Amino acid sequence: MTTFTLITKAGKTVDVSISEEQSLNFIDGKIKKLQDKLAEYEAMDAMQAGELAVNSLKTKVNKLEADGKLESSYAYEDLKKRSNGVSFTGYLTDMGIEKSLHGSATRALSLGKAALAGLKLAEIDDPAVKRTVAENAVGGKNSLWRDSVIEWLLHSEADAE
């Protein structure tokens, strides 16, 4: 039997005891729910899967809109390009960055992604902090690609949310 001390939102302290059997039963229940959901997804045809995907997107867009995070500055064409898998190197080319600089920009992008992933794990979502961390991780203060890499990182991060 293990005892955990919890503090509620109201600030009350509660001790909860749980046996090893209860812990294992909880995990088994979670696994069964996941297996059932997986079986449900695997049984879907293309139409059902498409409907589920559209409904999921609608829910996310509505939440972004409700939270005031839906950027009106994103043009439909920009969103369509990103969703159609426009590549980072294509983006760099569109931004006028020479192909000879794409390798260093791609390495900087990887560093920036790792830094932003760390912020996400730490549940830090302040836009100013994200920008500062991205700028520091990317480096290349005098590089032609720097601003393009930072914008890609920050917009990719926003699109993922």
Tokens at 68, concatenated: 């005031």
* Nearest of 131, 24, 29, 150 to residue 92 by alpha carbon: 150
Rounded CA gap, 126 and 143, in Å?
26
> Which burial class, exposed, middle or buried, applies to 82 when counting CB atoms under 10 A from its CB (0-12, 13-18, 19+)?
middle
Q: How confident is residue 30, by pLDDT bands cut at 50, 70 and 90?
A: very high
**Per residue in 52-77, pLDDT tens?**
877 787 787 777 777 776 654 445 45
157 in Cβ contact with 137 (< 8 Å): no
- At 156 the three-state DSSP class reads helix
**pLDDT tens for each residue of 102-128:** 888 888 988 888 888 888 888 888 889
Q: What is the mean pLDDT of the chain?
A: 82
Region for residue 97 given its phi and psi (left: phi exceeds 0; alpha: psi -120 to 50; beta: otherwise): beta
Handedness of CA 47, 53, 55, 57 (dihedral sign): negative
